[in-house]
Amino acid sequence: MATTTAPATESHLSPEEVQRLAKPQRSSKAVIGMVAAYAGMALIVLYCIIPFYWMIVSSLRLPTMGRSTAFWPSPASIANYKGVFAGQNNFGRSLINSLIVSGTTTVLTLLFGIVAAYALARLQFKGKSAVLWVIMACSMFPLIILIPPLLKMFSSTEPFTWFPYWINTYQAVIVPGLSFGLPLAVWNLTAFFKQLPVELEQAAMVDGCTPGVAFRKVILPLAAPGVFTTAIIVFIGSWNEFLVALTFLQAADKQTATVAISKFTGTTGFDTPYGSIMAAGVIVTVPLLIAVLLFQRRIVAGLTAGGVK
């Protein structure tokens, strides 16, 4: 190991030697630790990826070979992907439904969340920690508690006969969706706004901006990455939501993608159509994965690192 040799003691060092000396010295113990750490990291990645690999492999088999345990699809086929969009599954429609529901939830959540987060991050007022607790409690309570009263209400049964019939409508999923999207958004955005130095707005106001303009022209552009990250996170949460959608969206043409997948039936009847379920699962997951992989640095590091870059 070259790095463990004793450093030369001559007064005149060649540039190569200077470079070599400038490198951190590593003992063999540290090298072993390093190798172990990388082996561990490889294990972590395999742990995370292998089940997903199995989903992809299973989706690429022939539809008749759904339960095959071969580690490689042979012959490989995209028949499952074609089958997913076949008539009775309504899968294409459900993807559009998911987009509408998640998109609307995300936009509404951001509209409300941005202003609330700005107040929580910047303004001093009485009752702030009460507000924080209310918002936090809202993200803690079990979603199931909304189901009995909302199911009665949305299906216009007594004593809610005055309420419009909302079963199989998008708003029946979007409105409860706000209850978990909003706390998440407010929390995320508050963290982002807090990381921006308050001097930025003060400078803008010295230059004659009103607080509103300072917010719009200075803070919002700087917080754009945070807003964007929040949008992705809320969108993913809403896209993956199952319980509320399962309860309120019963008609085949109104179901979101997650509900549609859970109700897939095979063309032959009793057998679970694993091939097309896996193909649909891949289709639903891949856009999210691309977004997550592209913005993983933002999603994780951006949230926790702190400070303005």
Partner 1 sequence: MATATAQPQSISTVGNDGHKHKKNALSDGQGRLAWILLAPTLIVIIVVAGIPVLLSIRESFFTANAGVDPNTGMVASGESFSGLGNFSAIFSGMDNVGGNFGTMGRFWNAFLNTTGFTLICVVLETILGVAMALIMSKAFRGRGIVRAGILVPWAIPTIVSALMWKLIFDEAGVMNRILGQQILWLADSGAGFLAVIIADVWKTAPFIGLLTLAGLQTIPGEVYEAAKVDGASAIQQFVRITLPMVKPTLVVAVLFRTLDTLRMFDLPYGMIGPGKYHVETLSIFAYQEATQQRYGPAAAYAIILFIYVLLIAFIFVKLLGADVIGDGAPKKSKKKKSEGIDPDGEKSAIAAISTMGGAH
3-state secondary structure of 196: coil
Window 11 to 30, contacts with partner 1 (CB under 8 A): none
Window 78 to 107, contacts with partner 1 (CB under 8 A): none
Q: Which of 87, 123, 268, 269 binds partner 1 (CB under 8 A)?
A: 123
The stretch near partner 1 (CB under 8 A) out of 10-18, 73-81, 82-90, 239-247 is 239-247
Window 184 to 223, contacts with partner 1 (CB under 8 A): 184, 186-188, 190-192, 194-195, 198, 201-202, 205, 210-212, 215-216, 220
The stretch near partner 1 (CB under 8 A) out of 2-10, 43-51, 86-94, 164-172 is 43-51
235 binds partner 1 per the rule CB under 8 A: no
What is the distance between the alpha carbons of residues 151 and 144, in angstroms, rounded to a whole number? 11
Other residues' Cβ atoms within 10 Å of the Cβ of residue 259: 24
12 or 29: CB nearest partner 1: 29
Window 152 to 191, contacts with partner 1 (CB under 8 A): 152-153, 158, 175-176, 178-180, 182-184, 186-188, 190-191
Q: Which of 76, 141, 207, 265 binds partner 1 (CB under 8 A)?
A: 141
The stretch near partner 1 (CB under 8 A) out of 3-11, 79-87, 89-97, 148-156 is 148-156
Helix or strand (DSSP H, E) at 23: none
The stretch near partner 1 (CB under 8 A) out of 15-23, 72-80, 81-89, 131-139 is 131-139
Q: Which of 8, 21, 41, 224 binds partner 1 (CB under 8 A)?
A: 41
33 binds partner 1 per the rule CB under 8 A: yes
CB of 87 to partner 1, least distance (A): 21
Q: What would the DSSP string read from start to end of 38-60?
A: HHHHHHHHHHHHHHHHHHHHHHT
> For residue 67, which phi and psi values (nearest 5 degrees)?
-95, 5
The three-state (H, E, C) secondary structure of 168-190, written as one string: CCCHHHHHHHHHHHHHHHHHHHH
What is the distance between the alpha carbons of residues 119 and 46, in angstroms, rounded to a whole number? 43
133 or 165: CB nearest partner 1: 133
Tokens of residue 126, six digits = 């009485």
Is the Cβ–Cβ distance between 259 and 49 less than 8 Å?
no
263 binds partner 1 per the rule CB under 8 A: no
User: How many binding residues for partner 1 (CB under 8 A)?
Assistant: 118
Find out whether the peptide bond into 7 is cis, omega within 30 degrees of 0: no
CB of 13 to partner 1, least distance (A): 26
CB of 100 to partner 1, least distance (A): 17
Torsion, CA 218, CA 220, CA 223, CA 224, rounded to 10: -120
What is the distance between the alpha carbons of residues 101 and 172, in angstroms, rounded to a whole number? 10
134 binds partner 1 per the rule CB under 8 A: yes
Tokens of residue 237, six digits = 């949460």
Q: Which of 69, 72, 87, 309 binds partner 1 (CB under 8 A)?
A: 69
224 binds partner 1 per the rule CB under 8 A: no
The stretch near partner 1 (CB under 8 A) out of 73-81, 89-97, 123-131, 162-170 is 123-131
Cα–Cα distance list, 26 to 7, 62, 121, 148, 263 (Å): 13, 53, 45, 63, 57
3-state secondary structure of 100: helix
